[in-house]
Chain A
Amino acid sequence: MAGIHIERVTKSYGQLAVLKDFSLEVKDGEFVVFVGPSGCGKSTMLKILAGLEEASSGSIRIGGRDVTDLAPGDRDIAMVFQNYALYPHLTVRKNMGFGLKMRGTDSTEIDRRVTDAAKILGVEHLLDRRPKALSGGQRQRVALGRAIVREPQAFLMDEPLSNLDAKLRVHTRAEISALHKRLGVTTIYVTHDQIEAMTMADRIVIMRDGIIQQIADPDTMFRKPANLFVAGFIGSPGMNFLRATVTSNGANPAVRLFGHEVPLQASQSLAGRDVVVGLRPEHIVAGPGPVTFEVTPRLVESLGSEKYIYVDVPSENRAEVARSGGDERRTDTIIARLINPDERIADGRITLSFDPARLHLFDATTQASIE
Chain B
Amino acid sequence: MKRSLLNQTILYGTVILVCALLVFPIYWLFITAISPPDQLRVLPPRFWPEFPRWEVFGQIMRDRPVLLWLGNSALAALGSVILSMTVSVLAGYSLSRFRVRGGQSLGLFILTAKMLPATLLVIPLFGIFRTLDLIGSLWSIILAHATLIVPFTTWMLKGYFDTIPRELEQAAMVDGCSPLGAMARVILPVSAPGLAATALYGFVLSWSDYAYARTFLTNAQTNWTANLGITTMKGEYISNWGDISAASILVALPVLLIYLFLERYLVGGLTAGAEK
A interface residue numbers (CB < 8 A to B): 47, 50-52, 71-73, 77-79, 81-83, 85-89, 98-99, 102-103, 146, 150
Docked-complex contact B170 and A72, CB < 8 angstroms = yes
A interface SS class: loop
Q: Is the CB of B176 within 8 A of A52?
A: no
Q: B165 and A99: CB pair below 8 A?
A: no
Taking a contact as CB atoms under 8 Å apart, the answer to whether B190 and A52 are in contact is no
What's the least CB distance linking B140 to chain A, in Å? 38
A residues in contact with B178, CB < 8 Å: 71, 73
**CA of A117 to CA of B172, assembled, Å:** 19
With contacts A85-B168, A87-B190 taken as known, whether A52 is within 8 angstroms of B174 at the C-beta atoms is: yes
Binary interface profile of B, 190-231, with partner A (CB < 8 Å = 1, else 0)?
A: 101000000000000000000000000000000000000000
Task: State in angstroms the CA–CA spacing of A63 and B190 once bound together.
Answer: 35
Q: For chain B, which range describes its interface: under 10, 10 to 19, 20 to 34, or 35 or more residues?
A: 10 to 19
Q: Report chain A residues within 8 Å CB of B174.
A: 50-52, 72-73, 77-79, 99
B contact patch SS: helix
Q: Report how far A102 CA is from B171 CA in the complex, Å.
A: 12
Of all chain A residues, the one with the shortest Cβ separation from B167 is A85
Docked pose: A159 CA to B165 CA in angstroms: 16
Which residues on the B side are within 8 Å of A78 (C-beta)?
174
Q: Which residue of A lies closest to B173 (CB)?
A: A72
Is B189 part of the contact surface with A, judged by Cβ < 8 Å?
yes
The 5 A-B pairs with the shortest beta carbon distances in the complex, nearest first, are A102-B176, A73-B176, A99-B175, A85-B167, A85-B171
Is B186 engaged at the interface, CB distance under 8 Å to the other chain? yes
Return the chain A residue nearest B179 by Cβ: A71
Least CB distance from B177 to A in Å reads 6
CA distance A60 to B120 in the complex (A): 56
**Can you show 29 pairs from A to B with CB atoms below 8 A apart?**
A51-B173, A52-B173, A72-B170, A72-B173, A73-B175, A73-B177, A73-B178, A79-B170, A79-B174, A81-B167, A81-B170, A81-B171, A82-B167, A85-B168, A87-B171, A87-B186, A87-B190, A88-B190, A89-B189, A89-B192, A98-B172, A98-B175, A99-B175, A99-B176, A102-B177, A102-B181, A103-B176, A146-B175, A150-B175
Residues of A within 8 A of B177 (CB): 73, 102
